[in-house]
Amino acid sequence: MPPGSLGFPRYQLSAQPSSRELTLNRTLSRAPSMRVQPHTLASSLPPPEPAVSEDRQRLLGTLGLYELVEKQVAGDGNCQFRALSDQLYGTPEHHAAVRSLVVSTLRDHPDQYRCYVSDKPYDVYCADMGRSGTWGDHVTLKAAADAYGIKIVVVASFANSPVINIEPERQTNSRTLFLSFWAEVHYNSLYPKQEPPGSAQQAPAPAGTGGGGGGGKDAGGKPPKVLGSSRLGKLVHGVAAGVKPR
């Protein structure tokens, strides 16, 4: 299902992998990986801070091992869609358009995804996912892969098999999207260390989207909050800088 179907504004994504994506594909081909069944989030609350800090350190270790860097996106509940937007368009600004296509895919193909949603009626789940600020989960990642016909690779903070491969039902684009996942806290967009964020030209916006608001920093140039929590946001930046949480 290419962009342009499901009521999405017609915009031709590049079908050829960029040098950044080819580098990431080569790098992560040697990492332990797995495929997992889509699942919804068990809770909308972040884990206790000690567990958060341990998971963050583990993720940073994995990223360092494979020479990967994150482009931080705002943690306002839209981080998964912001990270996908950054991978697709070179900017997190079009997260609303990405969410719209993902939710349309969920609604138009209930038989394909309903079995993965067990905590609430499927129509309620789709309605919730249509609201800005609702956390994306593994079901929405699978729907994104299917909607764009594109493979998604997630480098997660899990102790074993930190790389998760999400394959589309029908691959129509040879590119691959790369995200980091600090479970169950935050998604970011991934880049090779030798080709960090800002080194590539930003792709044009999807026609008619008008952007999505919010970038890598809040107004005033401050680092983005994580999950809307200033304390958790400080923890993110503290762990990255090697500062132990208090």
The one catalytic residue in 76, 86, 137, 146 is: 76
Decide which of 54 and 215 is more confident: 54
Establish if 155 belongs to a structural domain. yes
The one catalytic residue in 94, 95, 138, 186 is: 186
Establish if 8 belongs to a structural domain. no
Question: Catalytic: 126?
Answer: no
Establish if 219 belongs to a structural domain. yes
- In this prediction the pTM is 0.76
pLDDT band at 49 (very low <50, low <70, confident <90, very high): low
Question: Catalytic: 218?
Answer: no
> For 187, phi and psi rounded to 5 degrees?
-105, 145
pLDDT value at residue 109: 97
One-letter amino acid at 148 equals: Y
Q: What sign for the dihedral angle of Cα 239, 95, 211, 206?
A: positive
Question: Catalytic: 115?
Answer: no
Would the pLDDT of 91 be above 70?
Answer: yes
Query: In the predicted model, what is the mean pLDDT of residues 218-236?
Result: 47
Least confidently predicted of 1-15, 61-75, 196-210: 1-15
The number of domains in the chain is 1
Establish if 162 belongs to a structural domain. yes
Structure tokens at 57: 């350190």
Which range of residues forms the domain containing residue 147?
A: 19-27+49-193+215-240
What's the per-residue H, E or C state across 44-82? CCCCCHHHHHHHHHHHHHHHHHCCEEEECCCCCCCHHHH
Structure tokens at 110: 């209930």
Q: Average model confidence (pLDDT) for the chain?
A: 78
Establish if 79 belongs to a structural domain. yes
pLDDT value at residue 12: 56
How far lies 143's CA from each of 102, 137, 149, 218, in Å?
A: 6, 10, 10, 29
CATH at 74: 3.90.70.80
pLDDT band at 23 (very low <50, low <70, confident <90, very high): very high
pLDDT value at residue 210: 38
Cα(3)–Cα(168) distance, rounded to whole angstroms? 14
